Amino acid sequence: MQKALLIDPDLCTSCLQCEMACSFEKEGVFNPARSRIKVFEFEHGRRAIPYTCTQCAEAWCMHACPVEAITKNQATGAMEVNEQVCVGCKVCTIACPFGTVNYNEATGKVIKCDLCGGDPACAKACPTDAITYVDANWLGYERMKEHAVQGHGRPAPGGNGQS
């Protein structure tokens, strides 16, 4: 069963624990600037939305890469950057319609969320469950439409969606 990050902006308090956990997991430092997840604030800080790679089924970043450095991890479903293959051309950063592939000047390579190999640090660190790691079947337009019609809230992590 593949899983995915479910982000509920209504629960985000902008504490930045997700950014800190990500930067420590991936870079070994507590530095939100080096995180693969970002918390964007709107309405002068009254609303915060965590944002990271959505692991698109039709990943434009992967298709744009001229050296095929981005591949899909079949176990996690994450589009992962192979640093040994990446030449740092940044074409994938342009191809990503969501701006979630970034260039790391320290390494000269691109970085993006890889779901931490199936155990995302951001979800574990989130104190309000604004970020949870759930069955991928919970995500997508059809599922959201079904819940909107039923008038239900968001599913419990790991739940089966049955009411």
Q: What angle do CA 69, 2, 156 make, to 5 degrees?
A: 130
**Distance between CA atoms of 99 and 163, rounded to whole angstroms?**
36
- CATH code of 56-112, in short, is 3.30.70.20
Residue 49 has pLDDT above 50, yes or no: yes
pTM: 0.81
Q: DSSP string spanning 48-100?
A: EEEE-----TT-HHHHH-TT--EEE-TTT--EEE-TTT-----HHHHH-TTS-
Topology of domain 1-52+117-151, CATH = Alpha-Beta Plaits (3.30.70)
**Which tens digits make up the pLDDT trace of 59-105?**
999 999 999 999 999 999 999 999 999 999 999 999 999 999 999 99
How far is C-alpha 23 from the chain's CA centre? 13
**CATH 3.30.70.20 domain range(s) in the chain:** 1-52+117-151, 56-112
Report the pLDDT value the prediction gives residue 143, as an integer from 0 to 100: 55
